[in-house]
Amino acid sequence: MTSRPTQRPRVPHFSSGPCAKRPGWTPAALADAALGRSHRSPLGKAKLARAIDLTRSVLQVPADYRIGIVPASDTGAVEMAMWTMLGPKPVEVAAWEAFGKEWVTDALKQLKIAPRIHQTPYGVLPDLAAIDTQHNDVVFTWNGTAAGVKVPDGDWIAADREGLTICDATSAAFAQALPWDKLDVVTFSWQKVMGGEAAHGMLILSPRAVARLESHTPSWPLPKVFRLTKDGKLIEGIFKGDTINTPSMLAVEDYLDTLAWAERIGGLPALHARADANAKAIYDWVARTPWIAPLAVDPATYSNTGVCLVLADSDVLARGDAAVSAFAAGIVERLDREGVALDIGAYRDAPAGLRIWCGATVETADLEALIPWLDWAFAEEKAALTRAA
């Protein structure tokens, strides 16, 4: 029998979004928020502009790329890009989990642009080399949060492409290297790797993406929250903190706090290293543990943020899908009751299993403390299963 661990994670927050707050965070971090003030006041605008400037420096965004704060979180940013830029060229969409499939639905059923679809089951990346990045527009997710599968690099994207690459990087930004020269649109939200408050999306545009915006008028209607141009010219103010509509200054303050923390710990390399070390702790445990396996098939695609795991115990698997789901849920609920791991169930549409967030705001020591609890919960569930049989 696996004995009940004595050490507990100091912070049991392993959700894949909203993610754990940065180490040491307390509500005092929000004390300077411009609450009750207009976001268009000099103070409000300065904070929004600072969020953009710090995003550029921490994330190492090229000087000639625009960075905007937009409504509706990452979804808003991705859909804003799709609605404003797609149409003039053939479109290819790659999807290997729930969120990529949303962008397929948008292209196929809402925009009705008959995209070429590259869709694979959970755990497997599509053949990226089969995408014609030279001639077509491409929509894809850098890190599939529901599958724990990431794109390993941007080598498959043509350097001298004619089309645009639109990349949903919400669970990759600040954790994985993004080859800016290969990406024309990059989106993310504040509540993932940085552990900020959810509200707004970040929309980052290459000069080529701006050229598309200024040269193309979509054939479909554009709601106000999607409009990035006026009279055929980019609305530059959006990329200086003059947001389209009202942002939450509380969420802005929290994002500023996360960026200041990132700077204090050493910037982007430190954020990447923290996610890598966290994910390594989990994958090393998985490698020595027969009852659990990565959902990702190819190690080159293993995510270092939302690490997705499936059950591999032959006794459990032999009982069929419903029993496997119930078993995984049993582990998740047991650890939640114990208060040692919150929100570690697989995404609702993904194969049953566990999903453990390893982004930069999580401490490796907390994951190391969690691991014996995972083994303990498995042993308890297995014993219950054997007793019931």
Ligand X SMILES: Cc1ncc(COP(=O)(O)O)c(C=O)c1O
From 72-80, 109-117, 326-334, 375-383, span contacting ligand X (CB under 6 A): 72-80
**Cis omega before residue 18 (within 30°)?**
yes
Q: Please give the structure tokens belonging to residue 303.
A: 């995510």
Q: How many CB atoms lie within 10 A of CB 73?
A: 21
From 19-27, 71-79, 247-255, 357-365, span contacting ligand X (CB under 6 A): 71-79
Q: Are 9 and 341 in contact (CB under 8 A)?
A: yes
The Cα 249–Cα 189 span in angstroms is 15
Instruction: Give the nearer residue to ligand X in terms of CB position, either 115 or 201.
Output: 201
- Residue length of the chain: 389
- Is 17 a residue that touches ligand X (CB under 6 A)? yes
Show the binding pattern over residues 75-114: x = contacts ligand X (CB under 6 A), - = does not: x-----------------------x---------------
Which residues within the stretch 178-217 sit at the binding site for ligand X (CB under 6 A)?
189
The Cα 105–Cα 186 span in angstroms is 19
Instruction: Give the nearer residue to ligand X in terms of CB position, either 74 or 137.
Output: 74
Q: Please give the structure tokens belonging to residue 259.
A: 């960026």
Instruction: Give the nearer residue to ligand X in terms of CB position, either 75 or 278.
Output: 75
- Is 145 a residue that touches ligand X (CB under 6 A)? yes
- Is 366 a residue that touches ligand X (CB under 6 A)? no
Q: Which residue matches tokens 């400037």?
A: 53
- Is 165 a residue that touches ligand X (CB under 6 A)? no
Q: Are 49 and 254 in contact (CB under 8 A)?
A: no
- Is 313 a residue that touches ligand X (CB under 6 A)? no
Instruction: Give the nearer residue to ligand X in terms of CB position, either 215 or 246.
Output: 246
Instruction: Give the nearer residue to ligand X in terms of CB position, either 199 or 324.
Output: 199
Q: How many CB atoms lie within 10 A of CB 231?
A: 5
From 27-35, 40-48, 165-173, 314-322, span contacting ligand X (CB under 6 A): 165-173
Instruction: Give the nearer residue to ligand X in terms of CB position, either 165 or 171.
Output: 171
CB of 200 to ligand X, least distance (A): 9
**Biggest CA pair distance of the chain:** 71
Residue 214: closest CA among 229, 203, 225, 236: 229
CB of 357 to ligand X, least distance (A): 10
Q: What is the DSSP letter of 96?
A: S
Q: How many CB atoms lie within 10 A of CB 293?
A: 17
Instruction: Give the nearer residue to ligand X in terms of CB position, either 176 or 189.
Output: 189
Which residues within the stretch 329-358 sit at the binding site for ligand X (CB under 6 A)?
none
Taking each helix axis as running N to C, give the angle between helix 267-287 and helix 364-388, from 0 to 180 degrees, rounded to the nearest 10. Answer: 30
Which chain residues interact with ligand X by CB under 6 A? 17, 73-75, 99, 141, 145, 168, 170-171, 189
